[in-house]
Protein backbone atom coordinates (compact mmCIF):
# COMPACT_ATOMS: atom_id res chain seq x y z
CA UNK A 1 0.00 0.00 0.00
CA UNK A 2 1.48 3.35 -1.02
CA UNK A 3 1.34 6.49 1.08
CA UNK A 4 -1.50 8.11 -0.91
CA UNK A 5 -3.72 5.07 -0.34
CA UNK A 6 -3.20 5.47 3.39
CA UNK A 7 -4.67 8.97 3.12
CA UNK A 8 -7.64 8.07 0.90
CA UNK A 9 -10.22 7.98 3.67
CA UNK A 10 -9.19 11.46 4.78
CA UNK A 11 -9.26 12.74 1.19
CA UNK A 12 -12.71 11.19 0.75
CA UNK A 13 -13.98 12.90 3.88
CA UNK A 14 -12.67 16.26 2.66
CA UNK A 15 -14.32 15.74 -0.74
CA UNK A 16 -17.57 14.99 1.06
CA UNK A 17 -17.32 18.22 3.02
CA UNK A 18 -16.68 20.14 -0.20
CA UNK A 19 -19.79 18.62 -1.84
CA UNK A 20 -21.89 19.78 1.13
CA UNK A 21 -20.39 23.28 1.05
CA UNK A 22 -18.75 22.66 4.42
CA UNK A 23 -15.03 22.50 3.57
CA UNK A 24 -13.07 24.89 5.76
CA UNK A 25 -9.80 26.62 4.94
CA UNK A 26 -7.62 29.11 6.76
CA UNK A 27 -7.54 32.67 5.48
CA UNK A 28 -5.72 35.87 6.45
CA UNK A 29 -7.17 38.84 8.26
CA UNK A 30 -8.35 41.32 5.68
CA UNK A 31 -10.80 44.21 5.63
CA UNK A 32 -12.82 45.86 8.38
CA UNK A 33 -13.26 43.68 11.46
CA UNK A 34 -16.79 42.29 11.60
CA UNK A 35 -15.64 38.78 12.48
CA UNK A 36 -13.52 38.81 15.64
CA UNK A 37 -14.55 38.71 19.30
CA UNK A 38 -12.32 41.67 20.16
CA UNK A 39 -15.45 43.51 21.26
CA UNK A 40 -13.76 46.30 23.23
CA UNK A 41 -10.79 46.67 20.88
CA UNK A 42 -8.30 45.62 23.56
CA UNK A 43 -6.23 43.15 21.55
CA UNK A 44 -4.05 46.04 20.39
CA UNK A 45 -4.38 48.11 23.56
CA UNK A 46 -1.34 50.29 24.21
CA UNK A 47 -1.90 49.98 27.95
CA UNK A 48 -1.85 46.17 27.79
CA UNK A 49 1.21 46.18 25.53
CA UNK A 50 3.06 48.48 27.94
CA UNK A 51 2.14 46.26 30.92
CA UNK A 52 3.43 43.17 29.12
CA UNK A 53 6.61 44.98 28.06
CA UNK A 54 7.20 46.13 31.64
CA UNK A 55 6.70 42.59 32.90
CA UNK A 56 9.21 41.27 30.36
CA UNK A 57 11.72 43.94 31.36
CA UNK A 58 11.25 42.97 35.01
CA UNK A 59 12.09 39.34 34.25
CA UNK A 60 8.69 37.70 33.79
CA UNK A 61 9.24 34.63 31.58
CA UNK A 62 7.44 34.16 28.27
CA UNK A 63 6.61 30.53 29.02
CA UNK A 64 5.50 28.90 32.26
CA UNK A 65 7.71 25.85 31.43
CA UNK A 66 5.58 23.40 33.40
CA UNK A 67 2.21 22.69 34.94
CA UNK A 68 1.00 24.85 37.81
CA UNK A 69 1.62 21.96 40.23
CA UNK A 70 5.25 21.65 39.16
CA UNK A 71 7.37 24.73 38.42
CA UNK A 72 4.76 26.52 36.30
CA UNK A 73 3.02 28.47 39.06
CA UNK A 74 4.11 32.08 38.63
CA UNK A 75 3.26 35.10 40.78
CA UNK A 76 1.50 36.59 37.75
CA UNK A 77 -0.97 33.68 37.67
CA UNK A 78 -1.80 34.10 41.33
CA UNK A 79 -2.09 37.88 41.00
CA UNK A 80 -4.57 37.50 38.12
CA UNK A 81 -6.64 34.96 40.02
CA UNK A 82 -6.81 37.18 43.11
CA UNK A 83 -7.77 40.21 41.01
CA UNK A 84 -10.38 38.22 39.08
CA UNK A 85 -11.99 36.80 42.23
CA UNK A 86 -12.33 40.31 43.65
CA UNK A 87 -13.47 41.82 40.35
CA UNK A 88 -16.19 39.25 39.69
CA UNK A 89 -17.22 38.85 43.33
CA UNK A 90 -16.28 35.19 43.62
CA UNK A 91 -14.52 33.36 46.42
CA UNK A 92 -11.78 32.03 44.12
CA UNK A 93 -10.67 32.03 40.49
CA UNK A 94 -8.57 29.57 38.51
CA UNK A 95 -6.72 30.44 35.27
CA UNK A 96 -6.84 28.03 32.31
CA UNK A 97 -5.19 28.17 28.91
CA UNK A 98 -8.43 28.81 27.02
CA UNK A 99 -12.20 28.77 27.16
CA UNK A 100 -12.55 25.46 25.35
CA UNK A 101 -10.31 23.59 27.77
CA UNK A 102 -11.87 25.35 30.77
CA UNK A 103 -15.38 24.24 29.79
CA UNK A 104 -14.14 20.72 29.14
CA UNK A 105 -12.19 20.69 32.41
CA UNK A 106 -15.10 21.78 34.59
CA UNK A 107 -17.57 19.33 33.09
CA UNK A 108 -15.22 16.36 33.19
CA UNK A 109 -14.24 17.06 36.81
CA UNK A 110 -16.92 18.67 38.95
CA UNK A 111 -20.09 16.70 38.07
CA UNK A 112 -19.83 13.36 39.87
CA UNK A 113 -21.05 9.88 39.09
CA UNK A 114 -24.78 9.86 39.81
CA UNK A 115 -25.19 13.57 38.96
CA UNK A 116 -27.11 14.99 35.99
CA UNK A 117 -25.73 17.54 33.50
CA UNK A 118 -28.47 19.53 31.72
CA UNK A 119 -27.15 21.35 28.64
CA UNK A 120 -28.79 24.02 26.53
CA UNK A 121 -28.85 22.67 22.98
CA UNK A 122 -27.00 25.71 21.57
CA UNK A 123 -24.22 25.86 24.14
CA UNK A 124 -20.56 25.88 23.04
CA UNK A 125 -19.24 22.64 21.57
CA UNK A 126 -16.64 22.50 24.35
CA UNK A 127 -19.45 22.01 26.87
CA UNK A 128 -21.00 19.27 24.73
CA UNK A 129 -17.58 17.61 24.48
CA UNK A 130 -17.08 17.75 28.23
CA UNK A 131 -20.57 16.41 28.93
CA UNK A 132 -19.91 13.60 26.48
CA UNK A 133 -17.21 12.13 28.68
CA UNK A 134 -18.37 13.24 32.12
CA UNK A 135 -19.03 10.61 34.79
CA UNK A 136 -22.51 12.08 35.21
CA UNK A 137 -25.55 11.44 33.06
CA UNK A 138 -26.10 14.18 30.44
CA UNK A 139 -29.22 15.46 28.71
CA UNK A 140 -29.74 18.24 26.15
CA UNK A 141 -32.80 20.52 26.39
CA UNK A 142 -34.46 23.13 24.19
CA UNK A 143 -32.70 26.46 23.86
CA UNK A 144 -33.37 29.08 26.54
CA UNK A 145 -36.24 27.06 28.01
CA UNK A 146 -36.03 27.08 31.82
CA UNK A 147 -39.18 24.97 31.94
CA UNK A 148 -37.48 22.27 29.88
CA UNK A 149 -34.56 22.32 32.33
CA UNK A 150 -36.94 21.89 35.23
CA UNK A 151 -38.80 19.07 33.44
CA UNK A 152 -35.52 17.23 32.72
CA UNK A 153 -34.53 17.31 36.38
CA UNK A 154 -37.99 16.23 37.55
CA UNK A 155 -37.97 13.32 35.07
CA UNK A 156 -34.50 12.26 36.19
CA UNK A 157 -35.53 12.32 39.85
CA UNK A 158 -38.64 10.28 39.01
CA UNK A 159 -36.39 7.61 37.50
CA UNK A 160 -34.30 7.41 40.66
CA UNK A 161 -31.68 10.13 40.15
CA UNK A 162 -30.20 11.00 43.53
CA UNK A 163 -27.12 13.11 42.77
CA UNK A 164 -26.81 16.83 42.03
CA UNK A 165 -28.08 18.40 38.80
CA UNK A 166 -25.74 20.72 36.90
CA UNK A 167 -27.44 23.31 34.67
CA UNK A 168 -25.04 24.45 31.94
CA UNK A 169 -25.73 27.55 29.81
CA UNK A 170 -24.12 30.48 28.05
CA UNK A 171 -25.23 33.87 29.28
CA UNK A 172 -24.97 35.30 25.75
CA UNK A 173 -25.01 32.80 22.91
CA UNK A 174 -22.14 33.01 20.48
CA UNK A 175 -24.00 32.32 17.23
CA UNK A 176 -27.41 33.87 17.94
CA UNK A 177 -26.47 36.77 20.22
CA UNK A 178 -29.43 36.16 22.53
CA UNK A 179 -29.42 36.07 26.34
CA UNK A 180 -30.12 33.18 28.66
CA UNK A 181 -32.95 33.53 31.22
CA UNK A 182 -30.48 33.60 34.12
CA UNK A 183 -33.04 34.61 36.78
CA UNK A 184 -35.35 31.73 35.83
CA UNK A 185 -32.47 29.27 35.67
CA UNK A 186 -31.10 30.09 39.13
CA UNK A 187 -34.63 29.66 40.47
CA UNK A 188 -34.70 26.17 38.94
CA UNK A 189 -31.27 25.45 40.38
CA UNK A 190 -32.30 26.54 43.86
CA UNK A 191 -35.52 24.54 43.70
CA UNK A 192 -33.63 21.35 42.88
CA UNK A 193 -30.45 21.87 44.95
CA UNK A 194 -28.59 22.11 41.65
CA UNK A 195 -25.45 23.86 40.45
CA UNK A 196 -25.65 26.53 37.74
CA UNK A 197 -22.61 26.73 35.45
CA UNK A 198 -22.68 29.91 33.35
CA UNK A 199 -20.33 30.46 30.41
CA UNK A 200 -19.96 34.25 30.16
CA UNK A 201 -17.58 34.08 27.19
CA UNK A 202 -19.37 36.70 25.09
CA UNK A 203 -20.63 38.82 27.99
CA UNK A 204 -17.50 39.27 30.11
CA UNK A 205 -16.23 42.83 29.79
CA UNK A 206 -19.31 43.94 27.85
CA UNK A 207 -22.32 43.57 30.17
CA UNK A 208 -23.08 44.02 33.84
CA UNK A 209 -21.57 46.52 36.32
CA UNK A 210 -17.97 47.21 35.29
CA UNK A 211 -18.34 44.50 32.61
CA UNK A 212 -18.73 41.70 35.16
CA UNK A 213 -21.23 39.81 33.03
CA UNK A 214 -24.89 38.85 33.20
CA UNK A 215 -24.38 36.50 36.16
CA UNK A 216 -22.62 39.17 38.24
CA UNK A 217 -25.20 39.12 41.04
CA UNK A 218 -24.89 35.33 41.41
CA UNK A 219 -21.13 35.13 41.81
CA UNK A 220 -20.04 34.08 45.27
CA UNK A 221 -22.94 31.67 45.75
CA UNK A 222 -22.13 28.06 46.70
CA UNK A 223 -24.07 26.65 43.76
CA UNK A 224 -22.74 28.90 40.99
CA UNK A 225 -19.69 28.38 38.78
CA UNK A 226 -18.85 30.92 36.07
CA UNK A 227 -16.44 30.89 33.15
CA UNK A 228 -14.92 34.17 31.92
CA UNK A 229 -12.81 33.97 28.79
CA UNK A 230 -9.84 36.31 28.45
CA UNK A 231 -9.49 36.01 24.67
CA UNK A 232 -12.60 37.89 23.59
CA UNK A 233 -13.54 41.28 25.06
CA UNK A 234 -10.46 41.21 27.32
CA UNK A 235 -8.16 41.03 24.29
CA UNK A 236 -5.71 38.48 25.71
CA UNK A 237 -6.01 34.68 25.89
CA UNK A 238 -6.93 32.06 28.46
CA UNK A 239 -9.99 31.69 30.68
CA UNK A 240 -10.93 32.16 34.31
CA UNK A 241 -13.22 29.83 36.23
CA UNK A 242 -14.72 31.63 39.23
CA UNK A 243 -16.27 29.45 41.93
CA UNK A 244 -16.37 28.60 45.63
CA UNK A 245 -12.90 27.88 47.01
CA UNK A 246 -13.74 24.22 47.61
CA UNK A 247 -14.53 23.70 43.92
CA UNK A 248 -11.35 25.48 42.79
CA UNK A 249 -9.28 23.37 45.19
CA UNK A 250 -11.02 20.26 43.85
CA UNK A 251 -10.08 21.28 40.29
CA UNK A 252 -6.45 21.76 41.32
CA UNK A 253 -6.42 18.26 42.81
CA UNK A 254 -8.64 16.30 40.41
CA UNK A 255 -8.81 18.13 37.08
CA UNK A 256 -6.57 16.36 34.57
CA UNK A 257 -6.64 19.21 31.99
CA UNK A 258 -5.31 21.50 34.75
CA UNK A 259 -2.90 19.08 36.42
CA UNK A 260 -1.19 17.79 33.28
CA UNK A 261 -1.16 20.89 31.06
CA UNK A 262 1.65 23.39 30.89
CA UNK A 263 0.40 26.55 32.55
CA UNK A 264 -0.61 29.57 30.43
CA UNK A 265 2.07 32.14 29.74
CA UNK A 266 2.62 34.45 32.73
CA UNK A 267 2.57 37.31 30.23
CA UNK A 268 -1.02 36.43 29.33
CA UNK A 269 -1.87 36.63 33.01
CA UNK A 270 -0.40 40.16 33.05
CA UNK A 271 -2.37 41.06 29.91
CA UNK A 272 -5.66 39.71 31.31
CA UNK A 273 -5.16 41.46 34.66
CA UNK A 274 -4.51 44.75 32.88
CA UNK A 275 -7.60 44.23 30.72
CA UNK A 276 -9.74 43.89 33.86
CA UNK A 277 -8.38 47.25 35.02
CA UNK A 278 -9.20 48.84 31.66
CA UNK A 279 -12.74 47.43 31.68
CA UNK A 280 -13.32 48.95 35.11
CA UNK A 281 -11.61 52.26 34.31
CA UNK A 282 -13.07 52.91 30.86
CA UNK A 283 -16.86 52.37 30.82
CA UNK A 284 -17.01 54.47 27.66
CA UNK A 285 -15.82 51.43 25.72
CA UNK A 286 -18.98 49.54 26.64
CA UNK A 287 -21.06 52.61 25.88
CA UNK A 288 -19.55 52.95 22.40
CA UNK A 289 -20.10 49.26 21.69
CA UNK A 290 -23.72 49.56 22.82
CA UNK A 291 -24.12 52.44 20.38
CA UNK A 292 -22.78 50.34 17.51
CA UNK A 293 -25.10 47.47 18.47
CA UNK A 294 -28.11 49.82 18.52
CA UNK A 295 -27.21 51.21 15.08
CA UNK A 296 -26.68 47.73 13.64
CA UNK A 297 -29.97 46.58 15.12
CA UNK A 298 -31.78 49.52 13.52
CA UNK A 299 -30.23 48.80 10.13
CA UNK A 300 -30.97 45.07 10.41
CA UNK A 301 -34.60 45.85 11.26
CA UNK A 302 -34.85 48.03 8.15
CA UNK A 303 -33.79 45.00 6.10
CA UNK A 304 -36.37 42.80 7.78
CA UNK A 305 -33.74 40.82 9.67
CA UNK A 306 -34.13 39.59 13.27
CA UNK A 307 -32.43 41.76 15.88
CA UNK A 308 -30.49 40.05 18.67
CA UNK A 309 -30.09 43.12 20.89
CA UNK A 310 -26.37 42.41 21.40
CA UNK A 311 -23.05 42.88 19.61
CA UNK A 312 -23.60 39.56 17.80
CA UNK A 313 -26.00 39.69 14.85
CA UNK A 314 -26.78 36.49 12.94
CA UNK A 315 -28.01 36.75 9.36
CA UNK A 316 -29.45 33.30 8.70
CA UNK A 317 -29.19 32.36 5.03
CA UNK A 318 -29.84 28.61 5.30
CA UNK A 319 -27.93 27.17 2.36
CA UNK A 320 -24.22 26.54 2.95
CA UNK A 321 -22.95 27.52 -0.49
CA UNK A 322 -25.12 30.64 -0.68
CA UNK A 323 -23.91 31.70 2.75
CA UNK A 324 -20.28 31.46 1.73
CA UNK A 325 -20.90 33.24 -1.57
CA UNK A 326 -22.52 36.13 0.29
CA UNK A 327 -19.66 36.24 2.80
CA UNK A 328 -17.10 36.30 0.00
CA UNK A 329 -18.94 39.12 -1.75
CA UNK A 330 -18.83 41.22 1.41
CA UNK A 331 -15.18 40.38 1.94
CA UNK A 332 -14.41 41.51 -1.62
CA UNK A 333 -15.97 44.85 -0.70
CA UNK A 334 -13.68 45.22 2.32
CA UNK A 335 -15.85 43.84 5.13
CA UNK A 336 -14.48 40.86 7.04
CA UNK A 337 -17.72 38.96 7.62
CA UNK A 338 -17.49 35.18 7.93
CA UNK A 339 -19.96 32.47 7.06
CA UNK A 340 -20.85 29.95 9.79
CA UNK A 341 -21.99 26.48 8.73
CA UNK A 342 -22.98 23.21 10.37
CA UNK A 343 -21.93 21.57 12.61
CA UNK A 344 -21.17 24.88 14.36
CA UNK A 345 -24.84 25.79 13.86
CA UNK A 346 -27.80 23.44 13.26
CA UNK A 347 -28.43 22.03 9.78
CA UNK A 348 -30.27 24.46 7.54
CA UNK A 349 -29.24 27.53 9.55
CA UNK A 350 -25.95 28.52 7.90
CA UNK A 351 -25.46 32.20 8.49
CA UNK A 352 -23.34 35.29 8.41
CA UNK A 353 -22.19 36.12 11.92
CA UNK A 354 -21.77 39.88 12.16
CA UNK A 355 -19.65 40.70 15.20
CA UNK A 356 -19.42 44.30 16.34
CA UNK A 357 -16.21 45.56 17.87
CA UNK A 358 -14.57 48.89 18.62
CA UNK A 359 -12.23 48.20 15.71
CA UNK A 360 -14.91 49.80 13.49
CA UNK A 361 -17.02 52.95 13.71
CA UNK A 362 -20.60 53.97 12.96
CA UNK A 363 -19.81 54.85 9.32
CA UNK A 364 -18.32 51.38 8.86
CA UNK A 365 -21.44 49.71 10.30
CA UNK A 366 -23.70 51.73 7.99
CA UNK A 367 -21.52 50.91 5.00
CA UNK A 368 -21.63 47.20 5.84
CA UNK A 369 -25.42 47.14 5.92
CA UNK A 370 -25.60 49.10 2.66
CA UNK A 371 -23.37 46.45 1.08
CA UNK A 372 -25.32 43.61 2.66
CA UNK A 373 -28.59 45.01 1.31
CA UNK A 374 -27.16 45.22 -2.21
CA UNK A 375 -25.54 41.79 -2.19
CA UNK A 376 -28.60 40.13 -0.65
CA UNK A 377 -30.91 41.64 -3.32
CA UNK A 378 -28.50 40.52 -6.05
CA UNK A 379 -28.84 36.91 -4.94
CA UNK A 380 -32.62 36.69 -4.58
Active site residue ranges:
37, 124, 170, 174, 199, 202, 232
Are the C-beta atoms of residues 168 and 119 closer than 8 Å to each other?
A: yes
**Residues in contact with 205: Cβ distance below 8 Å, sequence separation at least 6, in sequence order:** 39, 40, 42, 211, 232, 233, 234, 275, 279, 286
What distance in Å separates the CA atoms of residue 271 and residue 42, rounded to the nearest whole number?
10
Task: Show contacts of 113-116: CB within 8 Å, 24+ apart.
Answer: 113/163, 114/161, 114/162, 114/163, 115/163, 115/164, 115/165, 115/166, 116/152, 116/153, 116/156, 116/161, 116/163, 116/164, 116/165, 116/166
Are the C-beta atoms of residues 150 and 188 closer than 8 Å to each other?
A: yes
**Residues in contact with 269: Cβ distance below 8 Å, sequence separation at least 6, in sequence order:** 74, 76, 77, 79, 80, 95, 238
Helix and strand counts by DSSP (H, E) for the chain? 14, 12
Q: Strand locations in the chain, DSSP E?
A: 32-33, 92-96, 116-120, 137-141, 165-170, 195-199, 224-229, 239-243, 312-318, 335-336, 338-340, 350-355
What distance in Å separates the CA atoms of residue 169 and residue 155, rounded to the nearest whole number?
19
| Residue 315, number of CB atoms within 10 A of its CB | 20
User: Residue-wise over 253-268: b if at least 16 C-beta within 10 A, else e?
Assistant: eebebbbebebbbbbb
- Nearest CA to 107 out of 84, 124, 88, 82 is that of 124
Are the C-beta atoms of residues 239 and 77 closer than 8 Å to each other?
A: no
Are the C-beta atoms of residues 339 and 21 closer than 8 Å to each other?
A: no
Amino acid sequence: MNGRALLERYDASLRGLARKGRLRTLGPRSGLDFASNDYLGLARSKRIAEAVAAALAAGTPVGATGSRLLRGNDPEHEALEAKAAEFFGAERALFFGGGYIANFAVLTTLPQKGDLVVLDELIHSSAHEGAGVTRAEAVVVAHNDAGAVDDAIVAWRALGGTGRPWIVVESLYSMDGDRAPIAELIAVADRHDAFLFVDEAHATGVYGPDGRGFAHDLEGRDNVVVLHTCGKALGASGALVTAPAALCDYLVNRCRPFIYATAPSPLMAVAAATALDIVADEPERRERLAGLAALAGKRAEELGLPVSGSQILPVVVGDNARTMTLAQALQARGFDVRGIRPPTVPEGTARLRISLTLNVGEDDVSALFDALSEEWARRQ
